[in-house]
Structure formats: structure tokens, C-alpha cells
Chain A
Amino acid sequence: MSEKKNNAVQEPLFHLSKRAQIQPWKAWAIRLAAIVLGLLVCGLVAFILIEKLNQKPEKITDFYYSFIKGSFSTKRKLWKFLKNLAILQCISLAVTPAFRMRFWNIGAEGQTLMGVLGCITVAFYLGGQVPNWVLLVLMFIAALLYSAVWAVIPAIFKAKWNTNETLFTLMMNYVATFVVSYFLVVWVPSGSSTLGKLKYGKLPSFGHEYLVIILVVALLTVLLYIYLKHSKQGYEISVVGESVRTAQYSGINVKKVIIRTMVVSGLLCGLTGYLIGAGLDQSVTTESVGGQGFTAIMVSWLANFNPLVMLITSGLISMLNSGAAQISQDFNVSGALPDVIVGIILFFIIGSEFFINYQIIFRKKGHEKEAVK
């Protein structure tokens, strides 16, 4: 259609076509360029914002200094950075199996929150009445169960009636939020609805307090990579995601795979919930997950649903967050600055995917084509 070659016809200046292939290094170069460009724009935006808001000029290099300081200046910051990375990575791992199946589960926020609720519920009622290890096991089971149930409900409707899973899982997030606030009202009769740190059900730690969490997530990353790449179920997920027709042709029960995969996603969310509930907070609030369920979707997508690459993307996002938080602290601006920075970088990376998937072909005087990038 695009191959119009006639003098009477006006050729468009350029036209787009889907790339047949691209070398991995080129794709990474494009992504890297986007990130660098994004960081420059972020610096500029931060510069303008802060100058306008604080009414006093700053040196732009100071931002980048602050930015790096945010994650790496002290040991404590480094640990915190690694912990944030681990939690984000864990939720990102959770959403990945479903995404590889092209099941757009954007309910990881709610699924994880339910996991936190599950483990804290057990800790709240049984804390002090059973041995600590029994409590921890029960909390673990409850977290997985709560999350898996939360995740499988939309999957059942998707498999059975093709109910739109994006909208369904989105709504489930908010239902989960209010389920949590319901229990908070019940548990905290004073009316403050704030559950303090519980005394029981703390995940034992060795070395550093975050070390267990980091190791668990590292192990999980490898396990999920193996599951997706080398297990029969992982193979089925890939086939269903690519083409339902091919899946049927090869004898795969598509409905079963949808439901099973969402259970896996739910279990992983439950595990994250357990790490948050038993490993960090010993408490639950409606903000226990703090929007990371949504960030995880972007992290997973940016990593092209590859658990190992995800370490880089979740690291990037965590770094942006802590770096920007440092900036907002050093320059006395709103604590919401990290969101702005992360948003801008995401725009650049999202936009760069276009140049990886498509190529722009400019036309030169009717013949000779030149491919760009």
C-alpha cells in the first residue's frame, strides 16, 4: 500500500512501518538515551519548579548531587534503597505472569493490600496465644489465601464471561481499601482508625533488618524467571498470551491457564503482603502498599515482563524515588516531587518504545529510502 511509485502521486514526507527486528543493543541504546534525556528534563523541571516556588535561584548541578545522595550517601540510605527496590520488585514479579498472558491485571495494589490484611488479621487475633513460629506460618498462609482469592475472582469472570479484567481488577483495589478501613474501625474502637505496631508476628531478622526481605525477593526473582522460562506452566502462559488459537490447537485449556495464572499472581502478591505486614510494618493501613501496586505494572512492562531485567527497572524507579525525595528535602519543596520526576522519566521510556517497535522511513525525491534508527 505504501509502495506508491508514480510521478503523478504526491509522496508523503515519511511513513511508519513496523520493525521486523532490532538488535538488542540498539533497543537498549534507545532506552538509555530516553532515560538520559528524561533525567535532563527532570533536572530542568525541578530547577524551574523550585526556582519559581522558592523564589531563589539554585545551581542545577546541585540537584543531581542531591539526587545521587538520596540513595547512596549513607549506609542506612543504601539499605533503605535496597528494601524499597525489593518490595517494588516483588509486586512487579507478582503482576508479571498475568501480563505475559496478556491478562491486564491492574489490581496488584488491592491484591497485595489484602495480603497485608490477611497476615495482620491473624497476628491481631492470635498474637501471643500461639508460639511465634506457628503465628508466622499462619500469617503466611492467611496472606497468600487472601491475595489469591482477591486475584482469582476477576480471572473466573474473565474465563467464563470474558468480563473486562482491566476495569474489574481496578475496582477491586478500592474495595480492598475499604475492607481494610472496615477492619481498622472494628479493631480500633477509639475512632482514630490507626492500628499501632503489633507486638507479635515479627519476621525474624539476621544481619540487617532488611536482609531477609532482600534475600527472599532475590530468590523469588530467580524462581519466577525459571518458572516462566522453563516450566510447562510458564510455557503455556506464553502460548496463551501470544495466540489463543494456537493454544487451542496445541490442546491447552485456555480457561484453566487464565485462572491458574491469576492464582499464581495472587500468591505472589500475598507473599509481598506478608513481607510488608510481617517483615516491615507489623500493622496495616489503607496506605500499606502506597501505590506500589500501580508502579509495579509500569516496572514490569518496562522490563518487557522479564524478571531479571525487572531488577534494573525497579532499581531505576526506586532510585528516582529516593533521589527526588532527597531533592525535595534539601530544597524544601513538597514531598510529592518524586512522583513528578518518576512520571517524567516514565513518559520518556514509554515514548522510546515507539522507536524500538517502529521505524520512520523518510522519502527522498520519489525513490531512495532511508531508514532512521
Chain B
Amino acid sequence: MEKNLALSMQGITKRFGSVVANKSVDLDMYQGEILAILGENGCGKTTLMNMIAGIYFPDEGKIFKDGKEVVIRSPKDAFDLKIGMIHQHFKLVDLFTAAENIVLGVEESQRYNIKDVNNRVSEIALKYGFHIDPQKKIYDMSVSEKQTVEIIKVLYRGADILILDEPTAVLTPQEIDRLFSVLRRMKEDGKSIIIITHKLHEVLAISDRVAILRKGEHIATVDTCNATESSLTEMMVGKKVTLNIDRSEPVAPQARLEVKGLNCVDHEGVQVLKDVSFTANSGEILGIAGIAGSGQRELLEAIAGLQPLTSGEIIFNNPKKDKPVTFFHKSMARVKELGAQEAFHDEYGNPVSFDGMTNKQIKGWVESGKVLFREDEVMNLRDKTPLEIRELGVRLSFVPEDRLGMGLVGSMGITDNMMLRSYRKGHAGFVDRKKPRALADEIIRELEVVTPGVNTPVRRLSGGNVQKVLVGREIAFAPKVLMAAYPVRGLDINSSYTIYNLLNKQKKNGVAVIFVGEDLDVLLSLCDRILVINSGAVTGIVDARTATKEEIGLLMTQTDTQEKEAVQ
């Protein structure tokens, strides 16, 4: 069968500042085919497609539609060329019905009548086998229904090229099956479909051809019938690159944080964590690998006390036996409370009781270093707020993914951001800025933070410097457990290495480090063990010294339980 070119991109290059997102990409797609675009996170798939959809404009290169050169400046231009994109983040008005959202912004000659629109929407749905109630409000809809609305929105505008960005990321297996049958029907109808994904079996199941992107470059386009999971993985992840990161052997690892059977449902009712269990050891870096949005954020937030759990335990083990008690992380009230529970003994092994002692006397005794812990501390952090966790004396540091929206206050300077964790210290109602100021100076010096001054709002610093401030603060807290989510995202090479070195230093100090990363090369070079998470469930924990990229790639992308069992 002879095929006509539907769309052709030639020499497309797009830069964001100094970062090259796409580098002279040539890509063809034929009419009536399903083309999969495959690649790791951040390989430039979405950027490339956004240039067809009119969100971005290419710096270099040409786009041809049906053989004619076209200029696409806005989403409207794309619609006029019958190109429609279904974004990963839906753009819908929650308060409107499906039909109202679909018709929004469409210029039609006939008079607006919502009943007609409802009928036309139903017609389209019937034609391709969608299930949709045009009069249902978006806020009542499940994620898959919302996606259906987005697809019909594009079809309603008469698109014959549809681009779907990670359409299966949020769907259940049954919903994926239904989506695929709809896509096949659209293909039979002569529509061309581009589907961006990184799930291999889906690529194999649905597409006619696969284009593989790696680090912004188009590696190859192959016919799906000639491809296998392993051949695709190899092209997708490339050869293992050994990075120049020191990795020492863990010294006397001990179970520090035991997570057992964690389940978690987000506010939209989607189960984001499924029976997650693992142990993070002291003196070890545990990597967490997974496609973006597989539950990494929720996992870390659950441990930090920011995400309510439906079930599960988070056990914090602190080997304290025979170590002196300090006020460094414990309040006087907490020390007294523990004293009453007979948690301490003196240097001769006699139980310590603070009965009848004044605070001053207790303080003096404790600070002499002669009050020792009787047992290791074992605490369940489940259902504890971040403040409660801290008041228990658990030294848990967390470098969240959203640096300025969660980890730091953008409008405040470095000094004030240092206080975010420590401002409660001291009895007076006033904050002490001396120590935070000293800490800020130290971090600026030690981590070579480039800033006009300690009081310059951190929002104005570059990404790398912002991250140094955040990681620096969390490390200054002398953590027992350090969790870092995507700590090198958006950072240049030098800043990234600074962060790796900091994590390694913590590991040598006996901290249990949990590192959520996206670059498999980094994970394999930095971590001791790697936990792979997929759609909120753990699909495997591998030894980073022996595992291959393909192995992890497969664990990250498979969804079928049988496959999972087969690999294990």
C-alpha cells in the first residue's frame, strides 16, 4: 500500500537557554498510521510535539503538512492545520460539562445550541467507540473520562493528526485497552496518531512504527513488527556511561527506616502507592528509579508526614543504646517524658529518674553526658505531622522536588530560609537570626553558592544555587535519614557533582540516604541499591553495582503482573 506523508519535520532544533532540548530532528509520519515516540524522561519528546501543536516555536528547521511547508505559531494555527494535541495536564474548565468544554473557543457559523453540541459529541463518541455523557460535569469525571473529553475536543475541531502525550500514564489497564481500541478505530478512519510514551509493551501493542529519541536527538525510527522490548530498550537508554562518581562500600549498614505495606490514595481518589515496602539502611544510598509520576513524590511525602496513608507502617530505627542524651534534637519536655518512661540509664547502668529535679538540674545532668539511652529508639512515624516527627527527635531531612514551592520560601533570603526548620528553637517569642546567619554564611562558603548577599530572595538565585541552599540546610540538620527528590534536576554538571559529593559524604557519615533520580546512569553510578517503582508499586530492588540499564528500564516500564513475575 502506498503511503502519503502526513507530517514531516526537518532539522528541528529547540534550545531553552543553554540547554538543547531538540537537536536537528528529522521525523516523518504517514497518513493513517500510529507512530510511537519513545524515550526516557527529559529526552525532548514533549518539546518536539509541542512545536507541532503550536506551544513552542522551533529555533531552526521546517515543518511540512501534507507536503506543504507550514508555520505554526499558536495552538489555533495547529487546529487550523487539523493538528490537535492532548496534553498530559488537561486543560479543562472543571465547572463545565463535557460538551461545553468541547465547544469552547470553536468558531462556528451556526447558532450556539447546547443540545446540538451534545448530539454532535455523542455522534463522534459513537463513531469511535467512546463512552461519554456530554452533559456530565468535568469535576465529576474520572481521569480517563477527562482524557476522553480532551480527545473529542480535538476531533470536534476536525483534526486528522492527533498527538497524545503519555495518554496511558494515568489510566488503569482496562481503560488503556479501551483507549487503544478507540485509537485503532481512528486509524481505520484515516487519522494519523502520534503517541508519546515510554512503556515498551504499549509501543509494541499499538504502534505501526516507533521513533526513538535520546537526549534530544532522533536515534532511529523502526517498524514495530521488527522490534522487541530489548532492542527498543537498548536504543532508548543507550550504552551505560560510567560517571566519575566515587562510590564507597557501605560501612556496617543497619536497617534505619523500614517501610511496610504503604498504601496511599490522593485527593482525586486514585491509588498512588500500592503496598510499598522497603528498608533504607544507614551508610547506604538507596536509589529510587521510575517514570516521572509513578508515586515517588507521594512516597517521600508520606514518610515526611505530609501525605495521609490508608495503611502501612513507617518504622524509624535509631541505634541509641548506651549513647548520651542531648538536647540537640530533643526538647526538655520530651526528655522528661522519656525519663518518666525509664528510657535512660546512667553510666553505671542504673535507671535514671528525674523525679523532684528542677529543669536546671536536669539540664546540667544531661549536658554532662552521663545520661544514656537504655534501648535503641524505635518509632512509628505513621500519622505523625512533620512537627511531631521532629519533636520526637527523629532527624529526618527532606529535599523536596518542588524547591521553591515547598522546600524554600522564594521571597526570603538564605538566612530566613535556614530558619524554616529551626526557628522554633529558644524559649523567647523572637527568632534568633544569629545562628541561621552563621549557617547561611557557612553554606555559601562551603558549597560556593553564588548570591549577591545572604538576604537576597532565593527566588532570584539560579537553579543550582537554590538547590545548594536547600540541600545545605537539610544536611546541616545532621540527619539520620536524608531523602532527596530529583536533587540535580535542571542543574549544570558542576552543581550536580557538588550534590553527588554531598550525598556521598552523608552516606560515609552513616546517614541512610534515599535518592530519587531520573538519569539511570547517575543512579547506577551513585547508589548502592536501586528500588524501581512503577505506577505506585515496587517492581524490584536491584544491586546498583551489578544491574544493567536495560534491567531497570524493563522494571520501570512493564505493567503486566505476569511480566513482573517473569522478571523476578
Contact = CB atoms under 8 A, between A and B. Distances in A.
* Most chain A CB inside 10 Å of its own CB: which residue of B56, B398, B405, B409: B409
B393 interface: no
B225 interface: no
Contact of A4 (B73, B405, B408, B424): B73
Interface stretch (B192-200, B318-326, B382-390): B382-390
A243 B390 contact: no
A242 B404 CA distance: 10
A250 B420 contact: yes
Given A1-B55, A251-B390, A8 B431 contact: no
Contacts, number: 77
Contacts of B424: 232
Nearest to A233: B429
Contact of B460 (A4, A21, A230, A236): A21
A231 interface: yes
B73 A230 contact: no
Contacts of A246: 405-409, 420
Interface in B367-413: 385-387, 390, 398, 400, 402, 405-412
A246 B304 CA distance: 13
B409 A239 contact: yes
A224 B411 CA distance: 20
Given A231-B430, A231-B431, A239-B409, A248 B386 contact: yes
Nearest to B59: A5
Interface in A308-323: none
A233 B59 CA distance: 50
B447 interface: no
Given A238-B412, A242-B411, A245-B402, A250 B421 contact: yes
Interface residues on A, range: 20 to 34
Contacts of B390: 251
Contacts of B419: 235
Nearest to A5: B59
Contacts of A21: 460
B400 A242 contact: no
A248 to B, nearest CB: 6
Contacts of A251: 385-387, 390
A54 B308 CA distance: 71
Contacts of B405: 243, 245-246
A232 B409 contact: no
Contacts of A239: 409, 420
A6 interface: yes
B416 A235 contact: yes
Interface string A241-264: 011011011111100000000000
* Most chain B CB inside 10 Å of its own CB: which residue of A3, A239, A242, A250: A250
Task: Specify the main secondary structure of chain B where it touches its partner.
Answer: loop
A208 B421 CA distance: 48
Interface in B504-522: none
A232 B57 contact: no
Contacts of B55: 1
B306 interface: yes
B71 interface: yes
Given A5-B59, A249-B386, A243 B409 contact: yes
Interface in B464-506: none
A77 B390 CA distance: 58
A53 interface: no
A8 B402 contact: no
Nearest to B421: A250
Nearest to B388: A251
Contacts of B365: none
A249 B387 contact: no
Interface string B337-362: 00000000000000000000000000
A4 B54 CA distance: 11
B189 to A, nearest CB: 33
A238 B409 contact: yes
Interface residues on B, range: 35 or more
Given A246-B420, A249-B400, A250-B420, A6 B57 contact: yes
A16 interface: no
B407 A249 contact: yes
B90 interface: no
A226 B398 CA distance: 31
Interface in A169-217: none
Contacts of A242: 409-412
Contact of B423 (A3, A226, A232, A245): A232
B423 A235 contact: yes
A108 B402 CA distance: 36
Contacts of B58: 6
Nearest to A229: B431
A20 interface: yes
A217 to B, nearest CB: 22
B409 A231 contact: no
A273 B430 CA distance: 28
A235 B402 CA distance: 21
Interface in B38-92: 55-59, 71, 73
A239 B73 CA distance: 40
Contacts of A250: 386, 420-421
A235 B421 contact: no
Nearest to A248: B306
Given A8-B71, A21-B460, A243-B406, A232 B412 contact: no
Contacts of B433: 230
Contacts of A230: 430-431, 433
A9 interface: yes
* Most chain A CB inside 10 Å of its own CB: which residue of B71, B385, B420: B420
Interface of A: 1, 3-6, 8-9, 20-21, 226, 230-233, 235-236, 238-239, 242-243, 245-246, 248-253
Nearest 8 CB-CB pairs, A to B?
A251-B387, A251-B386, A4-B57, A250-B420, A245-B406, A242-B409, A8-B71, A249-B406
10 contacts: A4-B57, A6-B57, A231-B430, A232-B431, A243-B405, A243-B410, A246-B409, A249-B406, A249-B420, A250-B386
Given A242-B410, A251-B386, 14 more contacts: A1-B56, A6-B58, A21-B460, A231-B431, A235-B419, A236-B423, A238-B409, A239-B409, A242-B411, A249-B304, A249-B406, A250-B386, A250-B421, A252-B387
